[in-house]
Structure 1
Amino acid sequence: MAYATQGETIAEFVNTTKRFGRVLAADRLNLKIGKGEFLSFLGPSGCGKTTALRMLAGFEAPTEGRILIDGQEVGAEPAYRRPVNMVFQHYALFPHMTVAENVGYGLRQRRPRLAKEDIAARVTRALDTVRLGDFGPRRIWEMSGGQQQRVALARAIVNEPKILLLDEPMAALDAKLRGEMQTELLSLQRKLGITFILVTHDQQEALSMSDRICLMGKGRIAQIGTPRELYDRPANRYVADFVGRANILTGTVIRNIGEHALVRLASNHDVVVEAPHPVSPGAKVDLAIRPEALRLATAPQPGLPDIVAKLCRMTFLGEHVEYLLSHPALGQLQVMVPRQAERALPGVDTGHEVHILWDQGNGLILGQD
């Protein structure tokens, strides 16, 4: 799906800061959000992601800077005047109302009043969109958690907002239902073409659903990019450590090799890694390599760095097996091995020494946090 081409910005943070007394919750945010984009604010608790969402919704006013929606500054506009709707973590549905009454609540508050027939038709369309067309007469307490979430979505989209804000709406669902609802939510966003902005601390949720991810830390934007960009080319140690799993190692640059660099690890092994920015020979650097980029073997392989480590733990994860290894100079290392590759490790058990194979070019030199 195309989105966020030049001139199609739907919302923007411009040097936006929010303070709560002495607490700096959001620090000079600068971000453009495209029309039709699925953007996720990702980060740990207290990183500023929910504050950013609430400022966009109109529940909090920025202390400094500006917020624009569709080119208009809305920093002083109350929530009910903004072309946005929000789905809350606990849905905030009215238990004394039917499903249809919940969905049509916002339409009934409009002035001038809408005709009852118009409200009923729009409620029906919204319920059909979330596959709850026959559930209008039911009470909220008669619905499952996943169905209640769909009711909250129908209530949000019935007003045809330009932006739909989602504040961790799947946090209360079990793992299987959460996966199903992620698929449904993404399908709904593609169908409607509305800009969706999701707040989540779940990296897998953000990686699987987003066009772009805005990773936050300590009130600031740590990195903005596609899920592949954040996973494959993390800007710094914080991003590499938060998005997915990574082995973070230190080393000394020996020389540059085009867009790569030869780095000597603390174990005196020389590895070739990506260097997204210029590095000077002799410089101390942090580098990251994903667990799935390493391989295990019972014997060394000619031409590759051969790191011998002790196997501490094996964790069966279904389609993969996670190996935790210990090296006296490198510390603990994680290696993720697909089931079919596990067959090449017969008889390997905890306490055994195995060979970690590092293919040249894997790994990335990280920038400063």
Structure 2
Amino acid sequence: MERAASMHVRPEETVAEFVGATKRYGEVLAADRIDLRIRRGEFLSFLGPSGCGKTTALRMLAGFETPTDGTVLIDGQDVSAVPAHRRPVNMVFQHYALFPHMTVEENVGYGLRQRRPRLSRREIGDKVAKALATVRLDAFGPRRIWEMSGGQQQRVALARAIVNEPKILLLDEPMAALDAKLRGEMQRELLDLQRQLGITFVLVTHDQEEALAMSDRICIMGKGRIAQIGSPQELYDRPATRYVADFVGKANILSARIVARAGGTAQAVLGNGAAVTVADAPGDARGEAEIAVRPEALSLAPSGEAPGPGVAAVAATVTHRTFLGDHTEYLLDAPGVGALQVNVPRQAERVPGGHGMGASVHVIWPEGAGLVLAAG
């Protein structure tokens, strides 16, 4: 699944902003001076492990938490002290929070019935019908919630959120309870819905694949702060730190010694003495460093095969081999370097059937593969 760019959105348009937003719970610092502009109409994800601050950021935006310091703005207005029900945002919760004693249409129309001044019954009915049609549940209005599947319940929760026409739709791990196949289907439906409505979606998730598949931008959180923010491809190709490289995709993190830098590349020497060329080295310092290289950037060759020009060969032994259909995942032990993972596409295997357990191989490192990481 590829995330299409939101072409109708101008980058300078800001719908919401965190300015030095900090949240403390006693001695616990849950969010630490968050500065972030959220663009109108974009799909933004907060990604990180439990306790990293992503949910706290979402709850400050929703109005369920008040910043201890700093401000939260929506359309340029400070809403830090504005209660949730008075903000132009709606949230879809992880467990949907639907009312089991109500029908589908009663659930969807619940927020409309709380409005003041009151809407007429006809206005509510028209808005509910439109919202249900948007999520393809036109014929399900009279059903009870317990008669709906997990995926259908999620759509009901989405309809209830969009019926109020919010400026921002907040999604708190809404697909965590779904199985893998249904999760993929709902990801596509959410993207279609976001493109159709043109409103800002803000997702909180710990699932990196979900964030990579759906987001215009991803905000990587760690220890209550923003570790790095960028497009999925930027974060995958250019992680700033080991923390980001470890969390976005899979990466081999290797110790190396930088001996030269020039023209956006660096010459590095691995622990076994192998010299490799890595790309996008930050700064101009030499000495000890960490290098991240993605498993798919490397390849394998029989130990007796000479490497081609512009590549380095690292001797290794296959310790684990996992066939995954379209590719094979190899875990290897490279003396002096450490453990390596190499993902080899099925059509790129140089040995029929792949390399077996215990096989001696060369890990082929092309020029430019890998990235020197900043400390952190």
Please give the TM-score of this superposition, normalised by the length of structure 2: 0.96
User: CA separation in 1, counterparts of 2:331 and 2:12?
Assistant: 48
- The CA distance in 2 between the partners of 1:339 and 1:322, in whole Å, is 10
Shift of 1:269: 0.6
Structure 2 matches for 1:1-369, cutoff 5 A?
1-2=6-7, 5-281=10-286, 283-298=287-302, 299-303=305-309, 304-342=311-349, 344-346=351-353, 348-369=355-376
Alignment check: 8 A CA contact 1:3 1:37 kept:
no
Q: Offset at 1:285?
A: 1.0
1:277, distance to aligned residue in structure 2 (A): 1.7
SS at match of 2:44: strand
Separation in structure 2 between the aligned mates of residue 157 and residue 182 of structure 1, nearest angstrom: 17
CA shift, 1:6, in A, is 5.0
Contact 2:250 2:295 in 1 (8 A): yes
Shift, 1:343, TM fit: 5.2
Deviation per CA, 1:293-328: give whole Å up to 9, x if none. 000011231332111100001111121110000012
SS in 1 for 2:253: strand
Q: Which amino acid aligns with 2:306?
A: P
Deviations 1:43-99 (CA, angstroms, capped at 9, x unpaired): 000000000000000000000001000100000000000000000000000000000
Task: Quote how far apart the aligned CAs of 1:347 are.
Answer: 6.1
* 1:16 aligned partner, one-letter code: A
Give the Cα–Cα distance (whole angstroms) in 1 for the partners of residues 301 and 225 of structure 2: 42
Provide the rounded CA distance (Å) in 2 between the counterparts of 1:79 and 1:306.
58
- Give me the TM-score of the superposition, normalised by structure 1: 0.98
Cα 1:345–1:287, aligned 2, differ >3 Å: closer, same or farther? farther
Letter in 2 for 1:182: Q
Q: Matched residues in 2 for 1:346 and 1:40: separation?
A: 40
- What is the alpha-carbon distance in structure 2 between the residues aligned to residue 241 and residue 189 of structure 1? 29
Distance 2:99 2:337 in 1: 56
Q: 1:347 to 1:83 in 2, by over 3 A?
A: closer
CA shift, 1:194, in A, is: 0.6
CA contact (8 A) 1:236 1:366 kept: yes
Percent identity between the two aligned chains: 66
2:28 and 2:9 mapped to 1: Cα distance?
A: 33
Q: Deviations over 1:265-313 (max 9, x none)?
A: 11101111013422323x2111100000000011231332111100001
Task: Please tell me whether the aligned partners of residues 297 and 345 of structure 1 are also in contact (alpha carbons under 8 angstroms).
Answer: no
Distance 1:131 1:55 in 2: 31
SS class of match (1:67)? strand
Q: Report the Cα offset of residue 115 of structure 1.
A: 0.8
One-letter code aligned to 2:284: V
1:256, distance to aligned residue in structure 2 (A): 1.3
What amino acid is the match of 1:22? E
Alpha-carbon distance in structure 2 between the residues aligned to 1:346 and 1:205: 32
Q: Distance in 2 between matches of 1:4 and 1:28?
A: 27
For residues 177 and 350 of structure 2, the distance between their equivalents in structure 1, rounded to whole angstroms, comes to 38
User: Structure 1 counterpart of 2:308, which letter?
Assistant: P
For residue 221 of structure 2, give the secondary structure of its aligned residue in structure 1. Answer: strand
SS at match of 2:362: strand
CA distance in 1, matches of 2:116, 2:92: 23
Change (3 A) 1:65 1:128: same
Task: Give the letter for the 1:11 counterpart.
Answer: A
Q: What CA distance in whole angstroms lies between the structure 2 residues aligned with 1:287 and 1:127?
A: 50
- Alpha-carbon offset, residue 345 of structure 1: 5.0
Aligned length: 368
Q: Using the alignment, how far apart are the partners of 1:172 and 1:297 within structure 2?
A: 42
In 2, Cα distance between the equivalents of 1:132 and 1:313? 47
Q: Is the 8 A contact 2:170 2:201 kept in 1?
A: yes
Q: What is the CA RMSD across the aligned residues, in angstroms? A: 1.1
Instruction: Note if contact 1:87-1:153 (Cα within 8 Å) is conserved in structure 2.
Output: yes
Q: Does the aligned pair in 2 maintain the 1:4–1:33 contact within 8 Å?
A: no
State the distance in 2 between where 1:123 and 1:133 align: 9
Q: Are the counterparts in 2 of residues 40 and 198 from structure 1 also a CA contact under 8 Å? A: yes
Deviation at 1:333, TM superposition (A): 0.1
